[in-house]
A = this chain, B = another copy of it.
Amino acid sequence: MDRLDLLPIGEVARRSGVSVPTVRFYEERGLITSVRTTGNQRRFERHVLRRIAVVRAGQRFGMGLAEIGEALATLPADHPPTKRDWVRMSSRWHALLTARIEAMERVRDGLSSCIGCGCLSLRSCPVYNHDDELAAEGPGPRRWPPAARDA
Contact = CB atoms under 8 A, between A and B. Distances in A.
A148 interface: no
Contacts of A19: 135
Contacts of A86: 115, 118, 120
Given A53-B120, A62-B144, 18 more contacts: A17-B132, A18-B135, A19-B135, A47-B121, A53-B128, A56-B128, A57-B127, A60-B107, A61-B144, A83-B118, A86-B115, A90-B114, A91-B115, A94-B108, A97-B104, A100-B104, A101-B108, A143-B144
29 contacts: A17-B134, A18-B134, A18-B135, A19-B135, A22-B135, A50-B120, A50-B121, A53-B120, A53-B121, A57-B111, A59-B144, A60-B130, A60-B144, A60-B146, A62-B62, A62-B144, A83-B118, A90-B112, A90-B115, A91-B115, A93-B111, A94-B108, A94-B111, A94-B112, A101-B104, A101-B108, A104-B104, A143-B144, A144-B144
